[in-house]
Copies of this chain bind each other. A is one copy, B any other.
Amino acid sequence: MPRVVMKFGGTSMAGIERIRHVASLVAKQAAESETCVVVSAMAGETDRLVQFCKEAAAEHDPREYDVVVASGEQVTAGLLAMTLQNSGLDARSFMGWQLVKASGVHGNARVDGIDSSELDDALSNGTVSVIPGFQGATPDGRVATLGRGGSDTSAVAIAAGLKADRCDIYTDVDGVYTTDPRIDPNASKLDRIGAEEMLELAGSGAKVLQVRSVGLAMREGMTLMVRSAFEDVPGSEIISNWDETMERTAISGIAADRNEALVKLIAEDRPGRLAAALHALADEGLTVDMVAQASDSLHFTVPRTALDRALKALDKAKDKIGHTAIKSDNEVAKISVVGVGVRSDPALAAKVYDVLADRQVPLLAATLSELKASALVPESHVDVAVRALHAAFGLGGE
Protein backbone atom coordinates (compact mmCIF):
# COMPACT_ATOMS: atom_id res chain seq x y z
CA MET A 1 0.00 0.00 0.00
CA PRO A 2 1.39 3.47 -0.74
CA ARG A 3 2.22 5.74 2.15
CA VAL A 4 1.02 9.33 2.01
CA VAL A 5 1.64 12.37 4.23
CA MET A 6 -1.06 15.06 4.15
CA LYS A 7 -0.45 18.47 5.66
CA PHE A 8 -3.22 20.93 6.54
CA GLY A 9 -2.63 24.61 7.26
CA GLY A 10 -4.24 26.87 9.85
CA THR A 11 -7.11 28.04 7.66
CA SER A 12 -8.12 24.41 7.05
CA MET A 13 -8.04 23.71 10.81
CA ALA A 14 -9.89 26.86 11.97
CA GLY A 15 -12.79 25.44 13.94
CA ILE A 16 -14.56 22.12 14.25
CA GLU A 17 -16.58 22.47 11.04
CA ARG A 18 -13.41 22.79 8.99
CA ILE A 19 -11.69 20.02 10.93
CA ARG A 20 -14.62 17.81 10.01
CA HIS A 21 -14.07 18.69 6.37
CA VAL A 22 -10.37 17.86 6.72
CA ALA A 23 -11.38 14.54 8.29
CA SER A 24 -13.47 13.74 5.21
CA LEU A 25 -10.46 14.40 2.94
CA VAL A 26 -8.28 12.24 5.18
CA ALA A 27 -10.87 9.42 5.19
CA LYS A 28 -10.94 9.44 1.40
CA GLN A 29 -7.15 9.24 1.28
CA ALA A 30 -6.94 6.60 3.99
CA ALA A 31 -9.10 4.25 1.91
CA GLU A 32 -6.22 3.85 -0.52
CA SER A 33 -3.01 4.43 1.47
CA GLU A 34 -1.28 4.36 4.80
CA THR A 35 -1.92 7.92 5.90
CA CYS A 36 -0.10 10.31 8.18
CA VAL A 37 -1.50 13.80 8.76
CA VAL A 38 0.48 16.85 9.88
CA VAL A 39 -1.55 19.79 11.16
CA SER A 40 -1.10 23.48 11.88
CA ALA A 41 -2.77 25.36 14.73
CA MET A 42 -6.16 26.98 14.11
CA ALA A 43 -5.70 30.15 12.08
CA GLY A 44 -5.13 33.03 14.49
CA GLU A 45 -4.17 30.81 17.41
CA THR A 46 -0.41 31.12 17.00
CA ASP A 47 -0.79 34.90 16.71
CA ARG A 48 -2.80 34.90 19.94
CA LEU A 49 -0.08 32.92 21.71
CA VAL A 50 2.71 35.09 20.28
CA GLN A 51 0.82 38.14 21.54
CA PHE A 52 0.70 36.64 25.05
CA CYS A 53 4.49 36.21 24.92
CA LYS A 54 5.00 39.79 23.80
CA GLU A 55 2.82 41.05 26.62
CA ALA A 56 4.59 38.84 29.16
CA ALA A 57 8.06 40.08 28.27
CA ALA A 58 9.23 42.27 25.40
CA GLU A 59 12.38 40.20 25.11
CA HIS A 60 11.50 36.68 26.08
CA ASP A 61 13.41 33.45 26.37
CA PRO A 62 12.86 31.65 23.05
CA ARG A 63 12.71 28.33 24.91
CA GLU A 64 9.70 29.54 26.85
CA TYR A 65 8.22 31.10 23.70
CA ASP A 66 8.40 27.63 22.13
CA VAL A 67 6.61 26.03 25.07
CA VAL A 68 3.78 28.53 24.70
CA VAL A 69 3.32 28.63 20.93
CA ALA A 70 3.73 24.87 20.35
CA SER A 71 0.45 24.28 22.19
CA GLY A 72 -1.73 25.32 19.24
CA GLU A 73 -0.88 22.32 17.06
CA GLN A 74 -1.26 19.96 20.00
CA VAL A 75 -4.90 21.05 20.22
CA THR A 76 -5.70 20.56 16.52
CA ALA A 77 -3.89 17.19 16.40
CA GLY A 78 -6.02 15.83 19.24
CA LEU A 79 -9.20 17.29 17.75
CA LEU A 80 -8.54 15.85 14.29
CA ALA A 81 -7.71 12.43 15.75
CA MET A 82 -10.98 12.30 17.67
CA THR A 83 -12.93 13.56 14.65
CA LEU A 84 -11.42 10.81 12.51
CA GLN A 85 -12.26 8.22 15.16
CA ASN A 86 -15.79 9.57 15.25
CA SER A 87 -16.15 8.92 11.53
CA GLY A 88 -15.14 5.31 12.11
CA LEU A 89 -11.44 5.44 11.30
CA ASP A 90 -8.68 3.95 13.38
CA ALA A 91 -6.70 7.07 14.28
CA ARG A 92 -4.47 8.50 16.97
CA SER A 93 -2.32 11.55 17.58
CA PHE A 94 1.35 11.66 18.38
CA MET A 95 3.16 14.57 19.99
CA GLY A 96 5.91 16.49 18.26
CA TRP A 97 8.35 15.69 21.08
CA GLN A 98 7.80 11.98 20.55
CA LEU A 99 8.80 11.96 16.90
CA VAL A 100 10.65 15.00 15.67
CA LYS A 101 14.25 15.51 16.72
CA ALA A 102 15.17 19.17 16.53
CA SER A 103 18.15 21.32 17.31
CA GLY A 104 19.54 24.77 16.76
CA VAL A 105 17.98 28.12 17.58
CA HIS A 106 14.75 27.92 19.59
CA GLY A 107 11.87 29.55 17.72
CA ASN A 108 13.53 28.65 14.46
CA ALA A 109 14.94 25.18 15.07
CA ARG A 110 15.87 22.73 12.38
CA VAL A 111 14.76 19.12 12.09
CA ASP A 112 17.55 16.60 12.59
CA GLY A 113 15.49 13.51 12.00
CA ILE A 114 12.41 11.54 12.80
CA ASP A 115 12.11 8.82 15.39
CA SER A 116 9.75 6.84 13.22
CA SER A 117 9.53 3.34 14.69
CA GLU A 118 6.32 3.82 16.70
CA LEU A 119 4.79 5.82 13.87
CA ASP A 120 5.81 3.13 11.37
CA ASP A 121 4.04 0.50 13.44
CA ALA A 122 0.89 2.59 13.70
CA LEU A 123 0.76 3.20 9.95
CA SER A 124 1.45 -0.44 9.12
CA ASN A 125 -1.46 -1.40 11.37
CA GLY A 126 -3.73 0.89 9.39
CA THR A 127 -3.90 3.61 12.04
CA VAL A 128 -4.18 7.12 10.62
CA SER A 129 -1.57 9.07 12.55
CA VAL A 130 -1.98 12.75 13.31
CA ILE A 131 1.05 14.83 14.25
CA PRO A 132 1.27 18.46 15.40
CA GLY A 133 3.38 20.37 12.92
CA PHE A 134 5.82 23.18 13.67
CA GLN A 135 7.59 21.47 16.56
CA GLY A 136 9.98 18.88 17.88
CA ALA A 137 12.14 18.32 20.92
CA THR A 138 15.83 19.12 21.41
CA PRO A 139 18.25 16.51 22.77
CA ASP A 140 17.94 18.07 26.25
CA GLY A 141 14.18 17.62 26.14
CA ARG A 142 12.99 21.16 25.48
CA VAL A 143 10.20 21.82 23.01
CA ALA A 144 11.50 23.63 19.94
CA THR A 145 9.45 25.24 17.15
CA LEU A 146 10.52 25.43 13.53
CA GLY A 147 9.64 29.04 12.66
CA ARG A 148 6.39 30.41 11.26
CA GLY A 149 5.09 28.09 8.56
CA GLY A 150 7.21 25.33 10.07
CA SER A 151 4.43 22.75 9.74
CA ASP A 152 5.35 22.43 6.05
CA THR A 153 8.86 21.48 7.09
CA SER A 154 7.49 19.03 9.66
CA ALA A 155 5.43 17.38 6.92
CA VAL A 156 8.35 17.01 4.53
CA ALA A 157 10.69 15.75 7.26
CA ILE A 158 8.12 13.21 8.40
CA ALA A 159 7.42 12.15 4.80
CA ALA A 160 11.15 11.64 4.29
CA GLY A 161 11.57 9.79 7.60
CA LEU A 162 8.65 7.50 6.72
CA LYS A 163 9.86 7.02 3.13
CA ALA A 164 6.42 8.19 2.06
CA ASP A 165 5.40 7.95 -1.57
CA ARG A 166 3.78 11.37 -1.54
CA CYS A 167 3.59 14.53 0.54
CA ASP A 168 0.50 16.61 -0.17
CA ILE A 169 0.35 20.12 1.22
CA TYR A 170 -3.29 21.20 1.56
CA THR A 171 -3.64 24.94 1.89
CA ASP A 172 -5.99 27.85 1.26
CA VAL A 173 -4.70 28.44 -2.27
CA ASP A 174 -5.08 25.83 -4.97
CA GLY A 175 -1.50 25.80 -6.20
CA VAL A 176 1.56 27.80 -7.14
CA TYR A 177 0.89 30.81 -9.35
CA THR A 178 3.13 32.72 -11.73
CA THR A 179 2.70 35.67 -9.39
CA ASP A 180 0.43 36.82 -6.58
CA PRO A 181 -3.09 37.02 -8.11
CA ARG A 182 -3.91 39.88 -5.76
CA ILE A 183 -1.21 41.92 -7.50
CA ASP A 184 -1.85 40.73 -11.05
CA PRO A 185 -5.22 39.16 -11.95
CA ASN A 186 -3.54 37.59 -14.99
CA ALA A 187 -1.55 35.27 -12.72
CA SER A 188 -1.90 31.64 -13.84
CA LYS A 189 -1.53 28.39 -11.96
CA LEU A 190 1.49 26.20 -12.69
CA ASP A 191 0.83 22.46 -13.15
CA ARG A 192 4.35 21.78 -12.03
CA ILE A 193 7.43 23.68 -10.99
CA GLY A 194 10.96 22.57 -10.19
CA ALA A 195 11.84 22.50 -6.52
CA GLU A 196 14.79 24.81 -7.16
CA GLU A 197 12.58 27.45 -8.71
CA MET A 198 10.00 26.95 -5.97
CA LEU A 199 12.76 27.43 -3.42
CA GLU A 200 13.63 30.76 -4.98
CA LEU A 201 10.00 31.82 -5.28
CA ALA A 202 9.28 30.88 -1.67
CA GLY A 203 12.44 32.63 -0.54
CA SER A 204 11.37 35.69 -2.45
CA GLY A 205 8.02 36.23 -0.86
CA ALA A 206 5.63 33.72 -2.44
CA LYS A 207 3.90 32.48 0.70
CA VAL A 208 2.62 29.12 -0.52
CA LEU A 209 5.19 27.08 1.42
CA GLN A 210 7.81 27.63 4.09
CA VAL A 211 11.14 28.02 2.31
CA ARG A 212 12.90 25.39 4.37
CA SER A 213 10.32 22.75 3.53
CA VAL A 214 11.14 23.11 -0.16
CA GLY A 215 14.89 22.90 0.50
CA LEU A 216 14.35 19.80 2.57
CA ALA A 217 12.15 18.21 -0.11
CA MET A 218 14.86 18.91 -2.67
CA ARG A 219 17.58 17.32 -0.55
CA GLU A 220 15.37 14.32 0.10
CA GLY A 221 14.34 14.00 -3.56
CA MET A 222 10.69 14.23 -2.57
CA THR A 223 7.98 15.58 -4.84
CA LEU A 224 5.40 17.76 -3.11
CA MET A 225 1.87 18.51 -4.22
CA VAL A 226 0.35 21.85 -3.22
CA ARG A 227 -3.42 21.74 -3.41
CA SER A 228 -6.57 23.33 -2.07
CA ALA A 229 -8.16 22.03 1.12
CA PHE A 230 -11.44 23.60 0.04
CA GLU A 231 -11.87 22.93 -3.68
CA ASP A 232 -11.40 19.61 -5.41
CA VAL A 233 -9.21 20.94 -8.25
CA PRO A 234 -5.76 19.86 -9.43
CA GLY A 235 -2.88 21.46 -7.54
CA SER A 236 0.73 22.20 -8.45
CA GLU A 237 3.47 19.61 -8.28
CA ILE A 238 6.83 20.69 -6.92
CA ILE A 239 9.29 18.36 -8.56
CA SER A 240 12.63 17.58 -6.94
CA ASN A 241 14.04 15.19 -9.51
CA TRP A 242 13.21 16.83 -12.76
CA ASP A 243 13.43 14.42 -15.65
CA GLU A 244 15.92 16.01 -18.05
CA THR A 245 13.77 15.04 -21.00
CA MET A 246 10.88 17.14 -19.75
CA GLU A 247 10.74 20.67 -20.98
CA ARG A 248 11.26 23.21 -18.26
CA THR A 249 9.72 26.65 -18.42
CA ALA A 250 12.37 29.37 -18.69
CA ILE A 251 10.64 31.71 -16.24
CA SER A 252 8.39 30.14 -13.60
CA GLY A 253 7.07 33.12 -11.77
CA ILE A 254 7.49 36.47 -10.14
CA ALA A 255 7.49 37.02 -6.39
CA ALA A 256 7.22 40.20 -4.36
CA ASP A 257 8.54 40.29 -0.82
CA ARG A 258 7.46 43.20 1.35
CA ASN A 259 9.18 41.86 4.44
CA GLU A 260 12.33 43.73 3.53
CA ALA A 261 14.21 46.60 5.07
CA LEU A 262 17.29 48.26 3.69
CA VAL A 263 20.18 48.98 6.05
CA LYS A 264 23.03 51.30 5.05
CA LEU A 265 26.17 51.34 7.13
CA ILE A 266 28.35 54.37 6.56
CA ALA A 267 31.77 52.81 6.93
CA GLU A 268 35.18 53.04 5.32
CA ASP A 269 36.03 49.95 3.33
CA ARG A 270 38.47 47.87 5.32
CA PRO A 271 39.13 44.14 5.50
CA GLY A 272 36.52 42.29 7.53
CA ARG A 273 33.91 45.06 7.43
CA LEU A 274 31.24 42.84 5.85
CA ALA A 275 32.22 39.76 7.85
CA ALA A 276 31.96 41.70 11.12
CA ALA A 277 28.48 42.93 10.20
CA LEU A 278 27.28 39.47 9.19
CA HIS A 279 28.69 37.93 12.37
CA ALA A 280 26.97 40.52 14.53
CA LEU A 281 23.65 39.67 12.85
CA ALA A 282 24.22 35.91 12.83
CA ASP A 283 24.81 35.99 16.59
CA GLU A 284 21.19 37.17 16.88
CA GLY A 285 19.98 34.49 14.47
CA LEU A 286 19.41 37.13 11.77
CA THR A 287 20.11 36.53 8.10
CA VAL A 288 20.99 39.06 5.47
CA ASP A 289 19.64 39.01 1.95
CA MET A 290 20.77 41.47 -0.73
CA VAL A 291 24.24 42.83 -0.15
CA ALA A 292 25.98 45.69 -1.95
CA GLN A 293 29.38 47.08 -1.05
CA ALA A 294 30.67 50.56 -1.87
CA SER A 295 33.90 52.18 -0.80
CA ASP A 296 32.25 54.32 1.88
CA SER A 297 29.20 52.25 2.72
CA LEU A 298 27.75 48.81 3.04
CA HIS A 299 24.14 48.11 2.02
CA PHE A 300 22.08 45.07 2.74
CA THR A 301 18.53 44.00 3.44
CA VAL A 302 17.16 42.23 6.48
CA PRO A 303 13.63 40.96 7.17
CA ARG A 304 11.55 44.03 8.01
CA THR A 305 10.21 42.34 11.13
CA ALA A 306 13.80 41.96 12.36
CA LEU A 307 14.97 45.49 11.61
CA ASP A 308 14.98 46.69 15.22
CA ARG A 309 16.94 43.68 16.39
CA ALA A 310 19.35 44.09 13.45
CA LEU A 311 19.98 47.74 14.24
CA LYS A 312 20.64 46.90 17.89
CA ALA A 313 23.01 44.07 16.98
CA LEU A 314 24.93 46.29 14.55
CA ASP A 315 25.16 49.07 17.09
CA LYS A 316 26.60 46.67 19.68
CA ALA A 317 29.28 45.57 17.19
CA LYS A 318 30.10 49.11 16.10
CA ASP A 319 33.76 48.86 17.11
CA LYS A 320 34.31 45.70 15.12
CA ILE A 321 32.44 46.83 12.00
CA GLY A 322 33.84 50.36 12.12
CA HIS A 323 30.77 52.25 10.90
CA THR A 324 30.15 55.86 11.79
CA ALA A 325 26.41 55.88 11.12
CA ILE A 326 23.49 53.60 10.27
CA LYS A 327 20.56 54.47 8.03
CA SER A 328 17.56 52.32 7.35
CA ASP A 329 14.51 52.31 5.10
CA ASN A 330 11.67 49.88 5.62
CA GLU A 331 9.38 51.01 2.80
CA VAL A 332 11.11 48.80 0.28
CA ALA A 333 10.23 45.50 -1.38
CA LYS A 334 12.08 42.89 -3.34
CA ILE A 335 10.77 41.68 -6.68
CA SER A 336 12.25 38.45 -8.00
CA VAL A 337 11.92 36.88 -11.42
CA VAL A 338 12.53 33.16 -10.97
CA GLY A 339 13.31 30.43 -13.46
CA VAL A 340 16.00 28.22 -14.98
CA GLY A 341 16.14 30.69 -17.88
CA VAL A 342 17.93 33.21 -15.66
CA ARG A 343 20.85 30.80 -15.54
CA SER A 344 20.81 29.70 -19.16
CA ASP A 345 19.94 32.93 -20.92
CA PRO A 346 21.68 36.15 -19.75
CA ALA A 347 19.34 38.17 -21.93
CA LEU A 348 16.42 37.21 -19.71
CA ALA A 349 18.06 38.77 -16.66
CA ALA A 350 18.89 41.90 -18.57
CA LYS A 351 15.26 42.11 -19.64
CA VAL A 352 14.16 42.29 -15.99
CA TYR A 353 16.05 45.52 -15.40
CA ASP A 354 15.04 46.87 -18.83
CA VAL A 355 11.36 46.45 -18.01
CA LEU A 356 11.77 48.21 -14.65
CA ALA A 357 13.71 51.09 -16.24
CA ASP A 358 11.01 51.43 -18.91
CA ARG A 359 8.40 51.87 -16.22
CA GLN A 360 10.62 54.28 -14.27
CA VAL A 361 10.75 52.06 -11.22
CA PRO A 362 13.69 53.21 -9.00
CA LEU A 363 16.19 50.38 -8.56
CA LEU A 364 17.62 50.49 -5.01
CA ALA A 365 19.61 47.28 -5.28
CA ALA A 366 19.89 44.35 -7.63
CA THR A 367 21.13 40.80 -7.26
CA LEU A 368 21.43 38.03 -9.73
CA SER A 369 21.78 34.40 -8.78
CA GLU A 370 21.56 31.10 -10.59
CA LEU A 371 17.78 31.01 -10.79
CA LYS A 372 16.67 34.48 -9.86
CA ALA A 373 16.98 38.09 -10.88
CA SER A 374 15.95 40.36 -8.01
CA ALA A 375 15.37 44.06 -7.71
CA LEU A 376 14.86 46.08 -4.55
CA VAL A 377 12.33 48.83 -5.27
CA PRO A 378 10.31 51.33 -3.22
CA GLU A 379 7.28 49.54 -1.83
CA SER A 380 5.00 52.03 -3.60
CA HIS A 381 6.18 50.68 -6.98
CA VAL A 382 5.64 46.97 -6.33
CA ASP A 383 2.33 46.44 -8.11
CA VAL A 384 3.20 48.27 -11.30
CA ALA A 385 6.57 46.51 -11.47
CA VAL A 386 5.14 43.01 -10.96
CA ARG A 387 2.43 43.51 -13.58
CA ALA A 388 4.90 44.85 -16.13
CA LEU A 389 7.28 41.93 -15.61
CA HIS A 390 4.46 39.35 -15.63
CA ALA A 391 3.27 40.64 -18.99
CA ALA A 392 6.77 41.07 -20.43
CA PHE A 393 7.62 37.42 -19.71
CA GLY A 394 4.31 36.15 -21.09
CA LEU A 395 3.25 34.42 -17.87
CA GLY A 396 -0.49 35.09 -18.15
CA GLY A 397 -1.35 31.60 -19.47
CA GLU A 398 -3.13 31.00 -22.78
Contacts and interface: CB of A to CB of B under 8 A. Distances in A.
B65 A78 contact: yes
Contacts of A75: 49, 52, 67-68, 71
Contacts of A52: 16, 75, 79
Where chain A touches its partner, the secondary structure class is helix
A78 B67 contact: yes
A4 interface: no
B56 A82 contact: yes
A85 B59 CA distance: 10
A79 B138 CA distance: 20
A64 B78 contact: yes
Contacts of A16: 52, 55-56
Contacts of A49: 75
Contact of A56 (B55, B65, B79): B79
13 contacts: A53-B79, A56-B82, A57-B82, A57-B85, A60-B82, A61-B85, A64-B81, A64-B82, A68-B79, A71-B75, A95-B97, A97-B97, A118-B141
Interface of A: 16, 19-20, 49, 52-53, 55-61, 63-68, 70-72, 74-75, 77-79, 81-83, 85-86, 92-93, 95, 97-98, 118, 141, 143
Contacts of A118: 141
Contacts of A19: 56
Nearest 6 Cβ contacts at the A-B interface: A67-B78, A57-B86, A68-B78, A71-B71, A16-B55, A60-B82
Contacts of A61: 81-82, 85, 92
B56 A67 contact: no
B93 A67 contact: yes
Nearest to A141: B98
A15 to B, nearest CB: 9
A191 to B, nearest CB: 36
A59 B59 CA distance: 43
Given A64-B92, A78-B65, A83 B57 contact: yes
A72 B75 CA distance: 9
A328 to B, nearest CB: 26
